[in-house]
Amino acid sequence: MQYKRILLKLSGEALMGEQQYGIDPKRIKEYAEDIKGVVNQGVQVAIVIGGGNIFRGMKGVGEGMDRVQGDHMGMLATVINALALQSGLEGVGVETRVQSAIKINEVAEPFIRRRAIRHLEKGRVVIFGGGTGNPYFTTDSAAVLRAIEIKADVILKGTRVDGIYSADPEKDKSATKFSSLSFDEVLSKGLKVMDTTAFTLSQENELPIVVFDMNTRGNLEKIVSGENIGTLVDL
C-alpha cells in the first residue's frame, strides 16, 4: 500500500453533482462507496470538505458583507457538508465521526487531535468541519493543517480535472498535464494548486500533494495502491 493514512480534500462544489446548488445525494453515494473501498484496504482516511456549494464567504464580502461574518457562515456550510458525507458513509456501512473546529456539540465532536488519531487507528473515517475555526483561512489551509496534525502521509486533493495542467484545460485545449512537480516548480511556473498559505505550509512540512479527478470512479483506490494517477507535488 502506497499510503497508510491520507487526508482527502474535497471542494464543496464537488458535492453539487449536476445541480447548480446544494448537495446531490447521488454524488454523495458515489464518494461514499469510493471511500469505503479505500477503508476496506486498511487505509486510514480523514477528510476536509469546502462549503462553496452552500455559501462562499468571499462572495458575500464582494456584495458588502463583513469578512469575518462571511467566513463564519462558510464554516457552518462545511459542517453541513460534513454531516451529509457522514450520512452517506454510514449508509454504506463505514463508521464515521465528524469533528468541528467551531463548537457545535449537538451535531459534531470538537476537534481534539488525539481523539481524531484514535478514531483513525480504529478504522473510522474522520471528517473535519468548520475549517481551521478562524476567519481569513481557507479550507485548503484547514486540510494541510489537519494533515500535519494527524501525521497523514499525503493530501489527496479531489478536483474536476485529472491533475495539474500548464493552463486551465477547460479553457485552453492546448494545456499540457504534469505527472509530477516539485514545490519549487509549481511556484516558478505560477501554477495554482492551493492558496499560497496552504501550499507554503505543505512545503515547509514536506507533505506531498496529489491532485486528481475524484469524479472518476476507482481513482482513489488506484492512488492509495500506488498507481500514477493525477499529479504528484513533492520535494
Question: Domain for residue 195, yes or no?
Answer: no
pLDDT score of 29: 96
Domain coverage including residue 130:
5-163+215-230
pLDDT tens for each residue of 68-112: 999 999 999 999 999 999 999 999 999 999 999 999 999 999 999
Question: Domain for residue 38, yes or no?
Answer: yes
Question: Domain for residue 190, yes or no?
Answer: no
Question: Domain for residue 31, yes or no?
Answer: yes
Confidence band (pLDDT; 50, 70, 90) for 61?
A: confident
pLDDT tens for each residue of 110-123: 999 999 999 999 99
Q: Please count the helices (runs of H) and the strands (runs of E) in the chain.
A: 8, 11
CATH number where 159 lies: 3.40.1160.10
If you average pLDDT over every residue of the chain, what do you get?
94
Q: Could you give the number of structural domains in the chain?
A: 1
Query: Helices marked H in the chain — which ranges?
Result: 25-39, 57-62, 67-91, 113-121, 139-149, 183-189, 196-204, 219-224
Q: What is the arithmetic mean of pLDDT over 152-175?
A: 91
Confidence band (pLDDT; 50, 70, 90) for 161?
A: confident
Question: Domain for residue 206, yes or no?
Answer: no
pLDDT score of 64: 84
Q: What is the arithmetic mean of pLDDT over 3-17?
A: 94
Rounded to an integer, what is the distance from CA 179 to the centroid of its chain?
A: 20
pLDDT at 57 over 90: no
pLDDT at 1 over 80: no
Question: Domain for residue 199, yes or no?
Answer: no
Higher pLDDT, 135 or 170: 135
What's the rounded Cα separation, in Å, for the pair 192 and 187? 9
